[in-house]
Chains A and B, each alone.
Chain A
Amino acid sequence: MGAGDCVCIIGTNTTACHPVIGLGMMQAKRNGAQLIVIDPREIDLAREADVWLRLRPGTDTPLLSAIAGEIYNAGMVDVESVAASTEGFKEFCEGLAKFDAESVAALSEVAADDIRRAARCIGRARNTAFYYTMGVTQHTTGTNNVLAVSNLALLTGNIGRPKTGVNPLRGQNNVQGSCDMGALPNVLTGYRSVTNDDVRGSFEEAWNVTIPAEKGRTIPEMLNAIEEDKMKGLFVFGENPMRSDPDINHVEHCLHHVEFLVVQDLFLTETAELADVVLPGASFAEKDGTFTSTERRVQRIRAAVSPVGDSKPDWKILAELLERLGRPERYADVKDVFDEMRMLTPTHTGITYERLEAGGIQWPCPDESHAGTPILHVGNCMRGAGKFVPLEHREPAELPDAEYPLTLTTGRVVAHYHTATMTRRCFGLAGTWPEELVEVHPADAAEYGIADGDLIELRSRRGVATGRAWVTRRVPRGLVFMTFHFSESPANILTTSAADPVTGTPQLKVCAVAIRKLTEESTSVESLSIEEHASCHIA
């Protein structure tokens, strides 16, 4: 991207969490593209931004709607063509009236002039690409926030062309692939609903089993079901909910309560320590198969080293379990698994291991002569007419009050990955960011008598965590920031499990906390001693 284009990022600390794409954004900026950053924290990209909107956490929907309203009112919308290719346009535009710049400025703490500047940037740009991640979705209004981005892209015609689009950046190398494969409670492969009889029928025929016709449980629903004794067993793969899920004390209670817990992971995580059975999984470098990147590109991966010790690739563990459950061995190798999947998944049917030898292929790819689909919604939205959804503002589930006067938001740093089960075992990465640094604004620090580097205690309605304070203007007054990387400073002890009503995604980006300085003689943060550092020699 370059002159005349615009990159608009919302709730994504891209240079820290997706550093390669973050560098691409810096490059675009250097090439002359405009950069709009919508984030409550002064993340690195905010310093590069042409317009930085420092919104109050949880006001994404009104802010994006106000930008849409300004663009519409300034006559920068091609009303005829948008009306012709979409539905709900008129209702949407009428709904924008309540999001005027002045009232949204008061609500979101962003100056009305800045909202107008962002609107002018997007309205005048030839192309605008919208990028978002967890800062948009991890709210009780997560679905609405995504719809607000989508509304803005539809309104400005920024879909179905290069350098445009609504682009969620996936946080892991294969989270796109696992969602594509139906690792969600409500869909089978290719995002086809389990309530659809035809879809279920095709799987039932292939597998010779009956599949439940109702959707499964989201993670918070699973935990609740365990508490209510409706769920007896839990199989956790490559996930560490004892650190990554909100309200860890509640998670721990549920994992103790469940009758049978299986954890499959590379290392003995906090979650694995609670398990009845631990199955040693294999790392990315030890297995064959495919990963699907954030741009839907299915890519072949090959084992570089043999699995260490007794560990096995996931598909082998599952195939052996299937065998013991009375389903005889059906898969000789990873290709068998892939071929079964592609024959049952119309979006992937045209992708074969042979074709992947020549490079990755982006789904949808319905047949073997199809080149793949780099851009979705070309010419027309895939569902037909693009759908505008009028939205309302809803405040976050837990706002600061007299007892818990500050807002806590959570995220990551560039050196570490999620609960750091891998990155803290790597000397270089651990040394780059050895411990939690809780970002505290200088004015708040002064109010609570906290100096840079002091140990502080954070309390919420759910628990207590300690960490070292970093007194910095990266956060605005009233906001503190923590990562969820460090076991000895677990941010998710504090966070709330209040979730988006549609997706079940928890509101990890907002909860109310109180902080205080810890005196020297009280507990210090015990640095986690990790015995087994992974050896990562470069041959």
Chain B
Amino acid sequence: MPHRLNPFILATASKCIGCRACELACAAAHIEGGVSVGSLQAPLSPRLYLTCVGEMRVPVGCRHCEDAPCAAVCPNAAIYRTDRGVQVDESRCVGCKTCIVTCPVGAMEMGQIWENGKPVMRRVANDNSPEGSEMEPALLASKCDLCKDRAGGPACVEACPEQALALIYPDAIKRRRNIQAALALKGTGARAGEVL
């Protein structure tokens, strides 16, 4: 069934124990050498965020909004909708941070991208340097990509020891609820001829 609405990762706060396994798994899934914490070849930078408020704890991440405000405000068309959620093309990101400001759940982050064991660099203007510019690690828009290139699906869902995380297909849920409700209606109007 083609999905009309974007899937997204949803956490059940009542099940979350705050262990951060989702953050670790997320970071590792986006880094080379991600077999164990000891074998990673780049710094950890998770794309969902365990958030503690009072006694409550729950990871928060991208909802892959249908009317994605991050995509709408991006001046360089680095953020766009696909049939597998809202995605970021880091090579087009200029680091303007408008997406961070506009995201209603705080899912966007400026993260370092590492390739071949080194941070991806960018040139920034600097009048004090002889060349008039210098290189520094680039900070680029980074958010949940639903582990689009991962065979096993989202790493956070797989890693959660309490099954608090799920990959949600909203239209599939709607359809399932419709069916459940239909079955529940089977008994109504049993008295023949009665007008409700």
Contact = CB atoms under 8 A, between A and B. Distances in A.
A111 interface: no
A427 B40 contact: yes
Interface residues of A, number: 12
A430 B33 CA distance: 15
B113 interface: no
A538 B37 contact: no
A535 B28 CA distance: 16
B117 A428 contact: no
B6 interface: no
B43 A427 contact: yes
Contacts of B38: 426, 428-429, 536
Contacts of A415: 37
Interface in B2-37: 24, 27-28, 31, 33, 35-37
B39 interface: yes
A383 interface: no
Contacts of A536: 38-39
A431 interface: yes
Contacts of B37: 415, 426, 428-429, 432
Given A535-B117, A538-B39, A432 B33 contact: no
Interface string A398-440: 0000000000000000010000000000111111100000000
Contacts, number: 41
Contact of B44 (A431, A535, A538): A431
Given A426-B37, A427-B31, A536-B39, A432 B117 contact: no
A324 interface: no
Contacts of A537: 33, 39, 41
Nearest to A534: B38
Given A432-B24, A535-B117, A427 B36 contact: no
A430 B35 contact: no
A457 B125 CA distance: 36
A431 B27 CA distance: 9
Interface in B32-68: 33, 35-45
Contacts of A430: 43-44
Contacts of B42: 427
A536 B41 CA distance: 8
Residues of B in contact with A, size category: 10 to 19
Interface string B113-152: 0000100000000000000000000000000000000000
Nearest to B37: A428
A536 B38 CA distance: 7
Nearest to B20: A432
B44 A432 contact: yes
A538 B36 CA distance: 9
Given A535-B117, A538-B33, A431 B43 contact: yes
B35 A427 contact: no
Contacts of B44: 427-428, 430-432
Contacts of B45: 431
B139 to A, nearest CB: 15
B28 to A, nearest CB: 7
Nearest to A538: B39
Interface in B80-134: 117
A386 to B, nearest CB: 43
A25 B37 CA distance: 23
A33 to B, nearest CB: 22
User: Which of A415, A427, A430 has its CB near the most chain B CB atoms (within 10 A)?
Assistant: A427
Contacts of A429: 37-38
B123 to A, nearest CB: 21
A429 B44 CA distance: 9
Interface string A429-464: 111100000000000000000000000000000000
B24 A427 contact: no
User: Which of B31, B37, B42, B43 has its CB near the most chain A CB atoms (within 10 A)?
Assistant: B37
A74 B40 CA distance: 56
A535 B39 CA distance: 8
A428 B41 CA distance: 8
A15 to B, nearest CB: 12
Contacts of A426: 37-38, 40
Contacts of B117: 535
B11 to A, nearest CB: 20
Contacts of B43: 427, 430-431
Contacts of B40: 426-428, 431
A538 B35 CA distance: 8
13 contacts: A426-B38, A427-B40, A427-B41, A427-B42, A427-B44, A428-B24, A428-B28, A428-B37, A429-B38, A430-B44, A431-B44, A431-B45, A432-B44
Given A428-B28, A535-B41, 19 more contacts: A426-B40, A427-B31, A427-B40, A427-B42, A427-B44, A428-B24, A428-B37, A428-B38, A428-B39, A428-B40, A429-B37, A429-B38, A431-B40, A431-B44, A432-B37, A535-B117, A536-B38, A537-B41, A538-B39
Interface of A: 415, 426-432, 535-538
6 closest residue pairs by CB, A with B: A431-B44, A428-B37, A428-B40, A427-B40, A538-B39, A427-B43
